[in-house]
Chains A and B, each alone.
Chain A
């Protein structure tokens, strides 16, 4: 089974918000306001299918303290943030994508509540380019600069404003990835490449979507991958799903008919016939390779606001007997090969729900749609694939000229790792933790590279973990200079940091340390006279432990060993 997949990476940038002066900070769930959103037509006069599929309803927004009127859609946007444009151009440069002459911010209509405006502002910034990953390469189709949407709140249709407006780069590759592993490798490489630039780090700051199709299927967008590790598994599940559904033929459902009178229990019910779909709908007992179209139809019906639907494959159940099912089938004009679906609601709502389910049935096995990735690896219907009709110009932002706007490309992570005078592992750790600039500064101030690396990667984080204050960069410089001058043993850095954190001065044991060491060794040799004479120069090893026990952290081990040898030689004559 051949896979064709394109990757879409969304990366948050670390430079404040795109259209206002707010910081991109996590906000608090303060009570905010509620809004309704109405699908609008594009400048070409069309309404997008995905937008039209949303009901007009109340959305709740939690304002938080980090947001201004722009996020609340109570003030026109400003910008775009020039730093965000610069980062976008840097990423374009690193991918070999060519910026456009002039960019136009568009409004991408999204009326699911995730944007207070009802649209996401986005601009196509660059096209072309290529990403080389371990085992292959993939063409870059486009790079867009857009605003991030709201975070979801606790309740259905509740949102938090803190993430809204954070600059987001959307990078789309061509559909040239042909194995789940290639998808994962490309995503991983893209992530590393992005980290060369000012991007946000941490949970949720980079998100991957996938466009997946197999020869028999159609393009399906998968959204919301939890992590790159599960990506191959999710892709495989989607390939299987498409393969199972690809054989299903579309059907033209019958009309919605009221069947209330056919039921013993008095509740209003409507149903319609699905020609040729008998046994395709499935039940909870259906095997793993069953199309389970009943669940797909229910996911669509729910968008109208019903709790779900009942379908012929699962009957008798839910208070509908086998006899009733037979009568309903007759009333709906079902043949043996036909299935039917039922909705227990009042006329308007029932008809709306059936219309949505029937619309799904008309699309056959694999519709062109957006699906949300589930935690256990599968996916559920999210919305129809949005099209070009959802875009119209953002009139509050003027076009922006990019021609002649050259940016300096930042070094890639690999380049930054290569210039560090350290082993590959340590160098990689420093760069990934974005500590390399600080490393260079401290080494330039005289710190020995290995000591600086250990300081940045281990000792300072330990201090932070112990909730102790870190010394200033100047004091760190002094401490490292003391190590470089041999005044402080590199083993003594930890104790020195602890002393500094306690508010004590940088320990001074340079000269005194050496004198004290010699005196201690002489005394030790005298005490262990018999042992020393018995072992000769081989006594160095055992004695080393005793001396280090006394001087660890104060005097360098190499110096201890050297003095011990000298004094032992003298002692043995």
Chain B
């Protein structure tokens, strides 16, 4: 139903961006009609004044005078800079997220809508690093990506690699970037060229956006011989260094800071300033990219906590083919739940991880753990719970006969046998 402000504008034949005067009670305001804000009052018309300020004016008992029709929208001036031929080629694949987001003035919120071309046009420094081919694959907020989208991205990367073997930078929302990175790592166990995910914590419509540095860092990382799926994001709050994280090891550890990502059990591969510096061992690129796309998403992730009941457990795991438990400490769950876990483990693979921010599981240390182990719960070691979830989905689809064994093996860097003091 149109709001009273919309009806008011319609009744006076005033359209978006028309220059109008709205008068009521001896007071009048002149400005251009702007889209209504979602949280504005129902009777509020938003005007942009000549000095640039937006204000909300009530249409109740008001008169509207149309002063001038909106000027024709300016031609979109696409930045068609000629491609410098001496730079290496690179593909930027857009999937949505803050890095690809612009303000939606209708809702007033930041919206993932812009194409990959527009990101590239906005981030001028990219043009000095590589010959960019931009492509918008998806336009989804990070929290809206589903396992099918992981498959679509992996397939497109594999196609791009098959076509010309150039590196791929994937613009992605940061919320679930680590899930997608892990999903790509399992689906693309060998890479002919780098695959680097990046995003931004401040949208690119802001002068202080971290997209500039992150994209430049990701692009440089994607021009190396890195043969693992990686994430490239700010290393600190400053706009100077981008950290490169192993895709299966990274976690978004802060909701808003630029340096949101970390790898609790090791997995920082290197950093990018003016040049790329690798300071850990990594798998180099292979002769060709291998694709094993797709998941069986029938997996639950259960967070162990003191108030968890057998009922909760059953509700979360009923009918699932796999369960990842984010256990306490070394991988524990209350002994009152062992019977329920044992029952689930008869039909499904139950993998134990730790909900601690770092470290590995070890079910041998405490009795509670040993009993769980006897219930045929498989230890995922220091695999992050979210990575274990993705891995279990992938194993169920591609290694249905050796899922439990697979959870205990390191496939693409997700599981370590040693952990170190910093």
Contact = CB atoms under 8 A, between A and B. Distances in A.
The answer to whether A binds B is yes
Nearest to B110: A395
Interface string B198-228: 0001101111110011000000000000000
A388 B256 contact: no
Given A35-B238, A109-B207, A101 B51 contact: no
Contacts of B52: 42, 106, 108, 387-391
A234 B202 CA distance: 42
A119 B207 contact: yes
A123 B237 CA distance: 28
Interface in A31-83: 32-40, 42-45, 51, 58, 69, 72-76
B53 A124 contact: yes
B55 A76 contact: no
B256 A395 contact: no
B56 A118 contact: no
B143 interface: no
B410 interface: no
A401 B207 CA distance: 28
B316 interface: no
A403 B258 CA distance: 38
A73 B51 CA distance: 26
Interface residues of A, number: 55
Contact of A73 (B74, B202, B205): B202
Nearest to B254: A74
B54 A393 contact: yes
Contact of A403 (B39, B58, B202, B240): B58
A368 B315 CA distance: 69
A123 B213 CA distance: 31
Contact of A101 (B41, B205, B257): B41
- Main DSSP-derived SS at the B contact region: loop
A37 B208 contact: yes
Contacts of B53: 104, 106, 122-124, 142, 144, 391
A111 interface: yes
A3 B104 CA distance: 44
Nearest to B107: A395
B361 to A, nearest CB: 33
A35 B46 CA distance: 34
A353 to B, nearest CB: 20
A45 B105 CA distance: 12
A76 B109 CA distance: 12
B207 A74 contact: no
A398 interface: yes
A334 to B, nearest CB: 35
Contacts of A107: 206
A418 B338 CA distance: 80
Contacts of B418: none
A407 interface: no
Contacts of B207: 37-40, 51, 109, 111, 117-119
B56 A398 contact: no
B378 to A, nearest CB: 39
Interface in A143-163: 144
A44 B52 CA distance: 10
Contact of A33 (B46, B108, B237): B237
A432 to B, nearest CB: 34
A35 B239 contact: yes
A104 B54 contact: yes
Nearest to A397: B108
Given A35-B239, A74-B237, A388-B51, A118 B57 contact: no
Contacts of B239: 34-36, 58
B103 A399 contact: no
A377 B170 CA distance: 55
Interface in B232-266: 236-240, 256-258
A106 to B, nearest CB: 6
B335 interface: no
Contact of A69 (B44, B50, B257): B257
A392 B49 CA distance: 12
A252 B74 CA distance: 28
A504 B103 CA distance: 67
B40 interface: yes
Nearest to B105: A43
B27 interface: yes
Nearest to B36: A399
Nearest to B203: A395
B212 A36 contact: yes
B39 A398 contact: yes
Contacts of B370: none
B421 to A, nearest CB: 26
A102 interface: yes
B398 interface: no
A105 to B, nearest CB: 9
B342 interface: no
Contacts of A399: 37, 39-41, 44, 46, 56, 108
Contacts of A51: 207
Nearest to A48: B52
A51 B206 CA distance: 12
A261 interface: no
A117 B206 contact: yes
B206 A101 contact: no
A119 B205 CA distance: 11
B206 A75 contact: no
A100 B51 contact: no
Given A100-B56, A102-B56, A391-B52, A118 B208 contact: yes
B40 to A, nearest CB: 5
B58 A101 contact: yes
A122 B51 CA distance: 12
A39 B209 CA distance: 10
Contacts of B56: 100-104, 399, 401
A127 B105 CA distance: 24
**Residue of A40, A58, A119, A390 ringed by the most chain B CB atoms within 10 A:** A40
A343 to B, nearest CB: 23
Given A43-B103, A116-B208, A401-B41, A103 B236 contact: no
Contacts of B238: 33-35
B35 to A, nearest CB: 9
A393 B237 CA distance: 25
A119 B206 contact: yes
Given A43-B103, A74-B237, A392-B103, A101 B44 contact: yes
A98 interface: yes
Interface in A485-507: none
B198 to A, nearest CB: 17
B325 to A, nearest CB: 32
A107 B258 CA distance: 20
A124 B236 CA distance: 36
Given A37-B207, A102-B40, A106-B52, 16 more contacts: A58-B240, A100-B55, A101-B41, A101-B55, A101-B57, A102-B58, A104-B54, A117-B207, A124-B55, A142-B51, A388-B48, A391-B53, A395-B103, A398-B39, A399-B39, A403-B58
The 8 closest A-B pairs by CB, nearest first: A118-B207, A102-B56, A391-B52, A388-B52, A124-B53, A104-B54, A398-B39, A33-B237
Interface of A: 32-40, 42-45, 51, 58, 69, 72-76, 98, 100-104, 106-109, 111, 116-119, 122-124, 127-128, 142, 144, 387-393, 395, 398-399, 401, 403
6 contacts: A35-B239, A44-B48, A74-B257, A74-B258, A391-B48, A395-B108
